[in-house]
Chains A and B, each alone.
Chain A
C-alpha cells in the first residue's frame, strides 16, 4: 500500500531552479482538459465559434494592407501586402498570445491556486498548447490565401523556401521565449499589481519594434540596432523567409535571439518557482 517513491518532503524551500517534471507528467490529463476547456469554453454560445480565430488576424491584415500598404505605401519587400501581413502576424501572434496569457497565470488563477494544489506550471503549459491550436488554424488560413494568390490570381514573386522544414523549431523557440517572459511577468505581477496593466501595452509596443508591419530591410538606419537586439525579429523574419521566400535573417541575429530565449526561460522558471510557493499568502 505504501509506495516508497511517493514520499514528499515540504521545506521552507529556498532552492533555485526546480521543475517538477514528474508532477507535471502525473497531471497530463489535467493539462489536456485545460486545453480543451480553453478551446470549448471560449466559443460556447457564439455563432462563429472557432472561426473567430481566423477573423481577428484576417481583419488586422486587411486593415494593415489598407493603411500601411495603400495609404502610407510602406514597403512589403515586394510581396503581396495581404500575404506579407498575414505571415508577419502568424509569426507574431503565437508569441504575443502566449506571453499575454502566461503573464497573468498567477493573478488570474489565484482563486483556484488558493484552494487546490497541482503543479502550477500545468496552467502556462496548457496555454502554450491551446495557443498552438490557434496557430494551426491561422496557418491554415495563411495557406489558403497563399494558394489563392499563387494559383488563382497568378501573382508571382513568392514561394515556399526549403528552410520551411525548420518551422517547428521556430514555433518551439516562440513557445520557450513567451513562456520564459510570461513567467517572469507573472511572478512580478503577483507582487506588483501595476504590471497587469503594463503587459498589454508592452506587447503592443513590442509589435512595432518587430518587423510585423515594416520589413527589417526597410527599418530606419538608426533603429536597426534596436530591432536587431529584439529576439522576435529573427523569428518573424524567418517566418517570411520560410513561407514566402523573402526575409532578412543573419546568423548573428539568430544567435542573439536564441541566447535571449534561453536566458529568459531559465530566469522565468526560477522566479516563478520562488513565487508560486507562497504567493497565495499575498492575494
Chain B
C-alpha cells in the first residue's frame, strides 16, 4: 500500500509583524535570554498566525484544489510545501520529487536568448539538462516562438515572454506539482491552451497536484478534492461542491440586528469602560448605493468618558479599507455618562459600489481604543435607483464630482 504523497501534521506559521528588516538587537537578545532560561518567548504582541494547526493528507495521484480568500494562508502553505520557507511548528512529509510553480518566468535573464533561458529556467525548476534537451522542441512549439528562439528575451513582447515561461513550467514532470494560479497568463486563446495542458498533466500517470486558484471553474475542471482555508484554519479534504459551497458561504451576510456583547476583545481597554453591546441597521433600504445609511449602536458605559468618538469602516473582502466614517472628523467629540446609550449613526449618501464588505467599528479616545470589533459584520451594499452605472466601475467608492462645462471660443480667453 502506498503512503500519502504529502502528510501535513499540525502545521502553524507565525510571522512577526513590524520587524521586517529591522530586528533590533535588544529584541533579539531578549528572545535569546528567554530561550536560555527555557521560558516561552516573551510578548505575543505583533505576531500574526498565517496558518493555525493545519493537518491533511494528499494521496498519491490526487489532484487537490486549495481555495480560500486572500490572506487565508494559501500562499504561505504553498511556500512551506515548496521549501521556500519553514513552518513555525508541526511536521510535513513529502514523498516524491516536488516541482512548484508560484510564478512563471522565475529566473529569466533578459540578456539571454529564448533558447538559453529555457535551459536556465528549466534547471532552476529542477530539470536536468538532458530532460530539457529532450523536451526542447515541444516547449518552443507550445510557446509558439519558433522564429525567436535565438533572440534575447528582453526583445520579446510580454505575451511571448509569459508563453515561453509557462511552456517551460508546463513541461516540468515532477511526481508532485504545486501550482499557484499560473493559469492566468497570456491572452484568452493561450489561457484556454494552458488550461488544456494542465488538464492533460493532471489526468496523466498518477501525478499528485496541489492547485491554488480563485477560479471555481478551473477548480471544478481540474481537481478531484478540495481543501478550504479560512483565516489560517484548514477544512478537512472535501468533495468539490461542498468545498465550493463552504468557501462561498463564508461570504454570506451577517444579520442586520446583532448582539455583539459576547464577542472576544483584545484591544485597548477591551471594552471594560466603553463597549458595543449591539448594532442594528435601521435605514429602510438597509445598505444601498446612493441611499442613506442609518445604524444604531447600543453602547454600555461604566465610567464617565469625555471626548470619545465612534467610527465605522468598510473594507473590501481582500482587506483593503475603502471607506472610513469617523464621528470626530470635525473635532466634535462625544461625552458618555455611566449607563446604556443608543447612538444613532447616519450617513446621507452611501457612496460604496454594490458588493460585500467587512465592516469594523471602534470606540476611541485620544490615541487609544475603548473597543474595537473587526469585523463587526459582513454586509452587502445593494444596488438602488441611484445606481446607474454599476457595470462601469469596480470596487471602492463612487461619488458625484461637481463639474462645470465652459465653452472656449477661438480667440477669446476663458
Instruction: Decide: A112 near B84, CB < 8 A? Known: A12-B89, A41-B109, A41-B112.
Output: no
Query: What is A's interface to B at a CB cutoff of 8 Å?
Result: 1-3, 6-13, 26-27, 29-30, 32-34, 37, 40-41, 44-45, 112-118, 191, 193, 277-278, 280-283
Q: Is B80 an interface residue (CB 8 A)?
A: yes
19 A-B interface contacts by CB (under 8 A): A1-B60, A1-B206, A2-B3, A2-B95, A3-B96, A6-B97, A10-B91, A10-B93, A12-B87, A12-B90, A13-B86, A29-B128, A32-B129, A33-B120, A116-B102, A116-B103, A117-B82, A277-B85, A283-B21
Closest to B3 in A: A2
- Decide if B84 touches A117 in the complex (CB within 8 Å): yes
Report yes or no: A117 in contact with B103, Cβ–Cβ below 8 A: no
A1/B85 in contact, CB under 8 A: no
- Give B205's nearest chain A residue, CB to CB: A1
User: How far is it, in angstroms, between the C-alpha of A207 and the C-alpha of B5 when the chains are bound?
Assistant: 53
A222 to B21, CA, bound (A): 41
CB atoms of A118 and B124 under 8 A apart: yes
A114 in complex: contacting residue of B19, B23, B84, B96, CB < 8 Å: B84
Identify the B interface with A (CB < 8 A): 2-3, 15, 19-21, 23, 60, 79-80, 82-98, 100, 102-103, 106-107, 109, 111-112, 116, 119-120, 123-129, 152, 175, 206
Using CB atoms, name the residue of chain B closest to A277: B86
> Nearest Cβ in chain B — how far from A20, in angstroms?
11
Q: CB distance A12 to B86 under 8 Å?
A: yes
Give which listed residue, B23, B84, B112, B175, contacts A113 with CB less than 8 A.
B84
Interface centre among A9, A37, A45, A191 (most CB of B within 10 A): A37
Q: How far is the CA of A268 from the CA of B86 in the complex (A)?
A: 20
Inter-chain contact B89/A112, CB cutoff 8 Å: no
A282 touches B84 (CB 8 A): no
What residue of chain A has the Cβ atom nearest to residue B129's Cβ?
A: A29
Residue among A11, A45, A115 with max Cβ neighbours from chain B (10 Å): A115
With a cutoff of 8 Å between Cβ atoms, the chain A residues found around residue B124 in the complex are: 30, 112, 116, 118
Contact B109 A10 (CB under 8 A): no
- In the complex, residue of chain A having the shortest beta-carbon distance to the beta carbon of B95: A7
Q: Which residues of A contact B83 (CB under 8 A)?
A: 8, 10, 117
Beta-carbon contact of A278 and B85 below 8 Å: yes
CB-defined contacts of B95 to chain A, threshold 8 Å: 2-3, 6-8
Is the CB–CB distance between A191 and B23 below 8 Å? Answer: yes
Contact between chains at B175 and A1 (CB < 8 Å): yes
Known contacts A7-B93, A13-B86, A37-B120: does B79 contact A280 (CB below 8 Å)?
yes
**Given known A-B contacts A2-B2, A30-B123, A112 and B111 have beta carbons under 8 A apart:** no
- Known interface pairs A7-B95, A116-B100; A282-B90 also in contact (CB < 8 Å): no
CB–CB A281/B85 < 8 A: yes
B residues near A11, Cβ cutoff 8 Å:
86, 91-92
List the A side residues contacting B94 at CB < 8 Å.
7-10
Task: Give the chain A neighbours of B20 by CB distance below 8 A.
Answer: 282
Q: Which of A1, A27, A32 has the most CB of B within 10 A?
A: A1
Q: How far is the CA of A37 from the CA of B108 in the complex (A)?
A: 11
Interface centre among B60, B80, B119, by most A CB within 10 Å?
Answer: B119
Closest 9 CB pairs of A and B: A30-B123, A117-B83, A10-B92, A44-B111, A115-B106, A277-B86, A29-B129, A8-B94, A115-B103
Chain A residues near B84: list those with CB within 8 A.
Answer: 113-117, 280
Query: How long is the Cα–Cα vector from A109 to B111 in the complex, in angstroms?
Result: 17
Taking CB atoms, residues of chain A closer than 8 Å to B93 are 7-10
Q: Is the CB of A27 within 8 A of B175?
A: no
B410, chain A: closest CB distance, angstroms = 52
Find the residue from B109, B111, B127 having the highest chain A CB count within 10 A: B111
Distance to closest chain B CB from A266 (angstroms)? 21
B96 touches A33 (CB 8 A): no
Q: Given known contacts A6-B95, A116-B100, what 7 new A-B pairs fall within 8 Å (CB)?
A: A2-B175, A3-B96, A9-B94, A10-B91, A33-B129, A116-B84, A282-B20
List the B side residues contacting A115 at CB < 8 Å: 84, 102-103, 106
CB of B210, distance to nearest CB on chain A (Å): 14
C-alpha gap A70/B290 in the complex (Å): 85
- B86 near A10 with CB under 8 A, answer yes
What residues of A have a CB within 8 angstroms of the CB of B85 in the complex? 277-278, 280-281
Smallest CB-CB separation from A109: which chain B residue? B107
Q: How far is the CB of A11 from chain B (nearest CB, A)?
A: 5
Given the contacts A33-B119, A281-B85, A41 and B111 also touching, CB distance less than 8 Å? yes
A28 shortest CB reach to chain B, Å? 8
Closest B residue, CB atoms, query A30:
B123
CB distance from A74 to the nearest CB of B (A): 42
Whether the Cβ atoms of B90 and A45 lie closer than 8 Å is no
Expressed in whole angstroms, the Cα–Cα distance for A1 and B95 within the complex equals 11
